[in-house]
Amino acid sequence: MKGLQTEALTIRFGGLTAVDGVDFSLTPGEIVGIIGPNGAGKTTLINLLAGIYAPTSGRVVFDGEDITAVPAHRRAALGIGRTFQLIHPLEDLTLVENVMTGFLFAGRRSLRAAREAAAALCRDLGLGGLNRSTGELNILETKKMEIAKALAVEPSVLFLDEVMAGLNSTETLDVIRMVREIAAHRNLGIGVVEHVMGVIKELTERVVVLDGGRLIAAGPYSEVSQDPRVVSAYLGGSV
């Protein structure tokens, strides 16, 4: 089966089970929301999928192959892309050089070819001024650079970890449009972690809800947002 699946994926940090028996799937072309309160395990799930962490138990399967033991750089080369919740641009590098790191991490290109591919990708995404230092970028450009870096591994599944955080509503709409276009034109499966439920409603066909590491609900946002467990764990009275 195409795309990414997990089976009873679990990771413990000492006494804390950060991800607890999670069955998750993402197939090419769909946009899935991953929501839940702070500390629910959303970023940890992405780290398990990207190979940053090895699970305590459970499996990660990609395009039908068990990749549970495959390291992060090889998963990137296989086509699993992600952004980072905490952005640390490489400040000594320019915009285009930051995007190049994505191409180089997946290990597919020479330095020169990576530079050309990074420049083309930035142009595609409407990012200009390629030789600017990252300090000269505004927040929207910085977010787009992070998405470009993630796309540089030429993923078939992509995880966006709170990329809209810190953007105003106009900028958020701009990124929503960009994510939709990416999903449609590149036939990507996209997993979106966001705390702004307007974004989740607008962008996703279905959501999974994590709470205390467990997957407590799954389905279209319109249904899940009515689920009493979800309301009490996360949405409070605000639905």
Ligand X SMILES: Nc1ncnc2c1ncn2[C@@H]1O[C@H](COP(=O)(O)OP(=O)(O)OP(=O)(O)O)[C@@H](O)[C@H]1O
**Interface contacts to ligand X, rule CB under 6 A:** 13, 16, 18, 36, 38-44, 85
34's tokens = 């991953």
Of 42 and 144, CB closest to Mg ion: 42
The region that residue 29 occupies, defined by phi over 0 for left and psi between -120 and 50 for alpha, beta otherwise, is: left
Contact letters for Mg ion, residues 67-106 (x by CB under 5 A): ------------------x---------------------
Of 17 and 27, CB closest to ligand X: 17
Instruction: Name the binder of 22 from Mg ion, ligand X, none, CB < 5-8 A by kind.
Output: none
Instruction: Name the binder of 13 from ligand X, Mg ion, none, CB < 5-8 A by kind.
Output: ligand X
Of 41 and 102, CB closest to ligand X: 41
Helix %, strand %, coil % for the chain, to 5? 40, 25, 35
Cβ proximity of 98 and 141 under 8 Å: no
Element containing residue 147 per DSSP (H, E): helix 139-151
Cβ proximity of 143 and 175 under 8 Å: yes
Of 85 and 142, CB closest to ligand X: 85
- Residue 43 touching Mg ion (CB under 5 A): yes
Strands (E), 184-230: 189-193, 206-211, 214-219
Instruction: Name the binder of 68 from ligand X, Mg ion, none, CB < 5-8 A by kind.
Output: none
Q: Distance between CA 162 and CA 201 in Å, rounded?
A: 15
Instruction: Name the binder of 120 from ligand X, Mg ion, none, CB < 5-8 A by kind.
Output: none
